[in-house]
Amino acid sequence: MIVGVPRESFPGERRVALVPAVLPTLAKAKCEVLVEAGAGDAAFYADAAYVEKGARIAASRAEVFAAADAVFQVLGHGANDKTGRADLPLLRRDQVLIAFLRPLGSPESVKEIAATGATAFAVELMPRITRAQSMDALSSMATVAGYKAVLLAAATLPRMFPMLMTAAGTVTPAKVLIIGAGVAGLQAIATARKLGAVVSAYDVRPAAKEHVLSLGARFVELPLEAADAEDAGGYAKAQDETFYRRQQELLARAVAESDVVITTAVVPGRRPPC
């Protein structure tokens, strides 16, 4: 089997679907790897690093798709709503595509991929179970997003995050509100706390309170009762518009009192509620 790794085409995307370190594992499974020239450059993996681990370098994107039995991408058509459509003519029947595809948010894109005859696997639909934990790309990316969001906020906010005691007086710590206490939200809480901020968090799921408190943050409780707030996979369920209007009204005070508000809440297949 030939595994193809094209260069990511989404504007500003710096990730690459395979790093050189995993190539020996694929070689043991009798797989050849074909990497588009420059695919790893933005992630600081030179072509030479892939060649050293046994990969071949393709001169063009079309060459990768033409030769590969399985194509590995970070953002496939659907998740890549800017340039992903250009890959559709390159896909063929019985070829396998593995990537983030945003199938719930962009079902038309999934139909377009299916029309090519290729078999597609959306990595964000990997079940959140112990056996599949090493393949849980969604959670790992959510961790990065939660961490980075706090760093960006700290760099942008025109005041310091921690409490500072100086000869000129005391600077009180920044107040950070995190909306959504899933993987990204919990990482954001932990990072903001490490930077010295006073952190509060809100989540529609009552079970999230324990996780928030365990990280040293205050849990914002609202006099709202959500029906079936959590699905079997641990994700929040969508609520009706009346609930969201009341939620926004009640959260307004917490938002107004905060220096930074980071929204991480998400409902699979729906627009983010924040």
For residue 210, the Cα-to-chain-centroid distance in whole angstroms is 23
The answer to the question of residue 241 being in a domain is: yes
Instruction: State which residues of the chain have pLDDT below 70.
Output: 227, 232-235, 273-274
The answer to the question of residue 269 being in a domain is: no
Q: Looking at residue 84, what DSSP letter applies?
A: G
Pair (99, 151) in one structural domain: no
pLDDT at 240: 79
Pair (182, 214) in one structural domain: yes
The answer to the question of residue 147 being in a domain is: yes
The answer to the question of residue 273 being in a domain is: no
For residue 236, the Cα-to-chain-centroid distance in whole angstroms is 16
H helical segments located in 53-136 = 61-67, 107-115
Pair (7, 101) in one structural domain: yes
Pair (176, 256) in one structural domain: yes
Pair (55, 143) in one structural domain: no
State how many domains the chain has: 2
The answer to the question of residue 206 being in a domain is: yes
Pair (151, 85) in one structural domain: no
**Residue 53, both tokens:** 């681990």
| Domain ranges, residue 211 | 139-263
Domain containing residue 82: CATH number:
3.40.50.720
Amino acid letter for position 118: A
Pair (25, 115) in one structural domain: yes
Pair (69, 166) in one structural domain: no
The last residue of one of the domains, among 79, 97, 125, is 125
pLDDT at 232: 67
Pair (159, 86) in one structural domain: no
Pair (166, 115) in one structural domain: no
Rounded to an integer, what distance in angstroms lies between the CA atom of residue 40 and that of residue 148?
A: 21
Q: Which residue has the tokens 């056996």?
A: 131
N-terminal to C-terminal alpha carbon distance within the chain: 44
The answer to the question of residue 274 being in a domain is: no
pLDDT at 159: 95
The answer to the question of residue 131 being in a domain is: no
Pair (167, 81) in one structural domain: no
H helical segments located in the chain = 23-28, 47-52, 61-67, 107-115, 137-156, 183-194, 208-214, 241-256
pLDDT at 4: 98
Catalytic (active-site) positions:
128, 133, 136, 139, 235
Pair (113, 145) in one structural domain: no
